[in-house]
Structure 1
Amino acid sequence: MPQVLMTGSAGFIGGYLVQALLDQGWTVVGLDNYSKYGPVVRSYDDHPNYHFTEGDARDAQLVEKLLEGCDHFVAAAAMIGGISYFTKHAYDLMAVNEAIMGASCDAAIKRFHSGGKLQKVTYVSSSMAYGSTDRWPSVEGDELTIPPPANSYGFQKLAVEYWARAAWQQYGLPYTIVRPFNAVGVGEQRALGDLEEESGNVRLALSHVVPDIIQKLLKGQDPLHILGEGSQIRCYTHGSDLAAGIIATLDHPAARNEDFNLSTPVHTSVLELAEKIWTRLKGPDIPLRYVSDPPFANDVQKRIPSVDKARDLIGFEAKVTLDEMLDELIPWIRDALARGIL
């Protein structure tokens, strides 16, 4: 069966992707230094086809060693978090993530030219690469013509894509670039580097809009505090759909040296999202009460992807609806709060 190395395998998307790969018969080599959440327990930790190494993805020699025998490399390791996280760690995430990319590409180039099995590197970018766009939906290729992202996180994720193309241009290392949009799902918890922010009468650490609104309402906040006017537009995509999209690119010949937006095409405003969560927790007869807090600087007001390319070239379409995500996530967050991991 095919074998894949995934860096960042203990992360949020990693949790979905590793499980999906194992379910489809892949052998998965995982690498993570537990820098985000600390040691985590996954349901597949003892799976016979999962081989985990605790280590740093900035170690090119280690990455090269783990790539031995691998057909694919999913380069997903990165410092990542919500908007408050990449505002407070603006320099660190640039420095760390660029070092990760350099080590990843160096290792993959050596392994690819050593006559081994490695076929391609799949680079996990972000919808933040389109952070400065003025046209929607964002079509693959727009990131090369619009102004660069205004914050360091978006700029670094765009740099990931330049690493991918440069390694192909100079060394012939095949690639696929995937851009997840607003991942939602269970399993995300308080990160070690998260700093709590006050929002009305509660303090939160994630700064991801879906779990944050759920937490605020579960903690009894009324009126609900939202950042800005609530007109921000997002396309919320379930972790299982993102995993399916990434897997769809691995062996598909049409994905070679291409980039794909991985997302639902359904867009929702923050106020619409808040209404859905409020109704679930407060009941349909109580109207939404909210106040607007000052937004973070450089908060992207609209992210809407074109999903035509992923559908037409590799047959990928997101399936999980926002309503289904909320029905799954609300009880998980209620339990996580009780256990003290949020």
Structure 2
Amino acid sequence: MKRAFITGSAGFIGFHLARRLLEEGWVVHGYDGMTDYYDVALKRARHDILKAHENFVATEAMLEDMAALGRAAEACRPDVIVHLAAQAGVRYSIENPRSYVDSNIVGAFNVMEVARAEGVAHLLMASTSSVYGANTEMPYAETQKADLQMSFYAATKKANEAMAHSWAHIHGVPTTMFRFFTVYGPWGRPDMALFKFTRAILGGEPIDVYNHGNMQRDFTYVGDLVEGIRRLATVPPGTTPVAASDSLSPVAPFRVVNIGNGAPVMLGDFIAAIEKATGRTAERNLMPMQPGDVPATWADAGLVEALVGTLPRTAIEDGVRDFVDWYRGWTRAG
């Protein structure tokens, strides 16, 4: 029976991944700090669903608490660690950068140290498409230079990639960093556009549309992302590249992998999908670009598919409808 240690298990992506692994018969130990960056009730509701599985154990503690993290990982005896916990959000990193240092730098180091101590077969760590920053060549490929981050959040994630590479080189820990591209779907975070837009449209309130709507995002449905992580979990980096575009390090068992839909969507089309799913028309409040934001993202998905095969690509209309259906049920239940 395979065993996974997942940080951020009460978070959006961590919850979906943990539930998927539990359904496949894995033993999962979830670790989450239950911070109040957004509604803790949503986090507890996710964990309550996971706790219904007999093979799920949860520890509530902060990443910065090395003693608690070490005890939890030792109790789990994981084959795989998936590090998803982080202080998220591009805009919040302008307001409270220290929280990103504590969680995303100190916390990530603690997870790396636990992975070394436990001798895991594979450490998978979440990065972000935001590390591409000021890059204008698209689609974004893992082998592109990415040194011009435009938010402090992205800078901490790029630092994680450098830290993890050195750790893999020094200690031989097989490590995959995956760069997410605008993940959305049921149980999503309230600070993300889909949640905020849906809440406002259903409430008859205007929505803030940044850069006057001249934005594109490679929206990735959470179920498609989880499928990619699940497959990558059993494909630790070795010594042989799988493609000419492989980001595999020449000096460490380490690679960076994009997980995205590979098809950017205009913000206006995204809003139209919400309007269709809600049956309401949005009142748009056109705004300038936010500091730290980028006008477009677009993933080159060639490497991940060379590693694990073709991934599902949920259409934006279907994924948004799933979210709106969930949102309506969640707000009625609340």
Q: Which category of TM-score, normalised to the shorter sequence, fits these structures?
A: 0.7 to 0.9
Instruction: State the Cα deviation string for residues 2-39 of structure 1 (Å, max 9, x = none).
Output: 10111111111011000011111111011112114436
CA distance in 2, matches of 1:31, 1:154: 23
Out of 58, 63, 84, which is 1:52 matched to? 58
1:216 aligns to 2:235 (yes or no): no
Out of 266, 269, 294, which is 2:266 matched to? 269
Letter matched to residue 82 of structure 2:
V
Residue of structure 2 equivalent to 1:149: 149
SS at match of 2:49: coil
1:330 aligns to 2:330 (yes or no): no
Letter matched to residue 183 of structure 2:
A
Deviation at 1:331, TM superposition (A): 2.6
CA distance in 1, matches of 2:78, 2:307: 25
Does the aligned pair in 2 maintain the 1:235–1:267 contact within 8 Å?
yes
Residue of structure 1 equivalent to 2:106: 99
Residue of structure 2 equivalent to 1:40: 44
Instruction: State the Cα deviation string for residues 236-284 of structure 1 (Å, max 9, x = none).
Output: 111111111111111125676222111111211111212222244346x
SS at match of 1:240: helix
Residue of structure 1 equivalent to 2:133: 131
Q: Compared with structure 1, are the counterparts of its residues 297 and 189 closer, same or farther at alpha carbon in structure 2 (3 Å cutoff)?
A: closer
Residue of structure 2 equivalent to 1:303: 297
CA distance in 2, matches of 1:84, 1:266: 24
Letter matched to residue 248 of structure 1:
R
Name whichever of 324-333 and 249-258 sits farther off. 249-258
**Number of equivalent positions:** 312
Identity across aligned pairs (percent)?
Answer: 22
Q: Compared with structure 1, are the counterparts of its residues 126 and 277 closer, same or farther at alpha carbon in structure 2 (3 Å cutoff)?
A: same
- Structure 1 spans left out of the alignment, 5+ residues: 113-117, 191-205
CA distance in 1, matches of 2:331, 2:287: 24
Deviation at 1:313, TM superposition (A): 1.6
- TM-score when normalising by structure 2: 0.86
Name whichever of 322-331 and 251-260 sits farther off. 251-260
Residue of structure 2 equivalent to 1:75: 83
SS at match of 1:330: helix
| CA-based RMSD | 2.1
Residue of structure 1 equivalent to 2:245: none
SS at match of 2:91: helix
Instruction: State the Cα deviation string for residues 24-78 of structure 1 (Å, max 9, x = none).
Output: 1111011112114436033221311111111222222333333332111111111
Letter matched to residue 79 of structure 1:
Q
1:184 aligns to 2:192 (yes or no): no
Residue of structure 2 equivalent to 1:199: none
Residue of structure 2 equivalent to 1:246: 229
CA distance in 1, matches of 2:189, 2:125: 24
Residues 78-89 of structure 1 mapped to structure 2, 5 A cutoff = 78-81=86-89, 83-89=90-96
Q: Compared with structure 1, are the counterparts of its residues 26 and 316 closer, same or farther at alpha carbon in structure 2 (3 Å cutoff)?
A: farther
Residues 280-291 of structure 1 mapped to structure 2, 5 A cutoff = 280-282=277-279, 290-291=284-285
Q: Compared with structure 1, are the counterparts of its residues 231 and 6 closer, same or farther at alpha carbon in structure 2 (3 Å cutoff)?
A: same
Residues 188-199 of structure 1 mapped to structure 2, 5 A cutoff = 188-190=188-190
Name whichever of 2-11 and 211-220 sits farther off. 211-220
